[in-house]
Amino acid sequence: MTQPQALPNHVGIIMDGNGRWATARGLSRNRGHQKGAEVFGQIVRHAQKRGIPYLTVYAFSTENWNRPPEEVGGIMNLLRSYLRDADKYRKENVAVSVIGDKSRLDVDLVEMIAKLEEGSRHNTGIHLNIGLSYGGRDELVHAARQIAAMAQAGSISPQEVDHSLVERCLYTAGQPDVDLIIRTGGEQRVSNFLLWQGAYAEFYFTPTLWPDFTPADFDAALEEYSRRERRMGGILP
């Protein structure tokens, strides 16, 4: 008899391998990101169908600013076209947040993001966080600055700094910790993704390049997660 599967509350995805996928086909790296963006849309829809409440994807890291300007511009344009279609989120009932250092983004993108976050926040389906100019260390520095300012203003004492206060100062304030982090593209490292929120995350690494990642691959990660949970809970004999 099949056991009911424990679904993660929050899944994180490091979408790696777009460049290699494109190079292997003699295409530009930006074509790889384009295909990656299509796959991203399919996976969000699929995760929603599976009943995952929170999904965080790593679209662009603080370190990715060091890539050639045409590649950075290409990824930003993909994000622009993805974020522009606000109607889509209403229809699909997706609540969107963009997490990261928005001060480095172009003004039009920042405005588009603010509109989208505001317009979609009452949607009751999956909550999608898009990591854009995101770095876990940056996020912790950002939180530390807010806490230092509160202490300086005299509104808290050092003894009042605890886990819950730090959590409230993160980009993901009010959201559950990430339970499962999927990384495609064969590398097995965390690369500055959700450092605080992933303290107890299970990792699922796959050599599949992100543009080749399918809903069935996502299901395989959920299946593996449910097995690990059951072992940890001592349910299996």
User: Which residues of this protein are in contact with ligand FPP, per CB under 6 A?
Assistant: 15-20, 33, 36-37, 40, 57, 59-60, 64, 75, 78-79, 82, 130, 185
- Closer of 143 and 183 to ligand FPP (Cβ): 183
Residue pair 24/67 in contact (Cβ under 8 Å)? The answer is: no
106 labelled catalytic: no
Sheet with 127-134, edge to edge strand ranges: 95-99, 127-134, 54-61, 10-14, 180-183, 202-205
Q: Rounded to the nearest whole angstrom, what is the least distance from the CB of residue 166 to ligand FPP in the complex?
A: 27
Give the residue closest to ligand FPP by C-beta. 19
Q: Rounded to the nearest whole angstrom, what is the least distance from the CB of residue 184 to ligand FPP in the complex?
A: 9
Residue 87: burial class (beta carbons within 10 Å; 0-12, 13-18, 19+): exposed
Q: Rounded to the nearest whole angstrom, what is the least distance from the CB of residue 30 to ligand FPP in the complex?
A: 10
3-state secondary structure of 152: helix
Q: φ, ψ for residue 202 (rounded to 5)?
A: -85, 140
Rounded CA gap, 190 and 234, in Å? Answer: 27
Q: Rounded to the nearest whole angstrom, what is the least distance from the CB of residue 114 to ligand FPP in the complex?
A: 17
- Closer of 52 and 130 to ligand FPP (Cβ): 130
Torsion of CA 192, 48, 212, 205, to 10 degrees: 40
Active-site annotation holder among 9, 18, 64, 108: 64
- Closer of 126 and 143 to ligand FPP (Cβ): 126
- Closer of 213 and 225 to ligand FPP (Cβ): 213
Active-site annotation holder among 16, 30, 179, 192: 16
How many CB atoms neighbour CB 228 within 10 A? 14
9 labelled catalytic: no
Supply the residues annotated as catalytic.
Answer: 16, 64
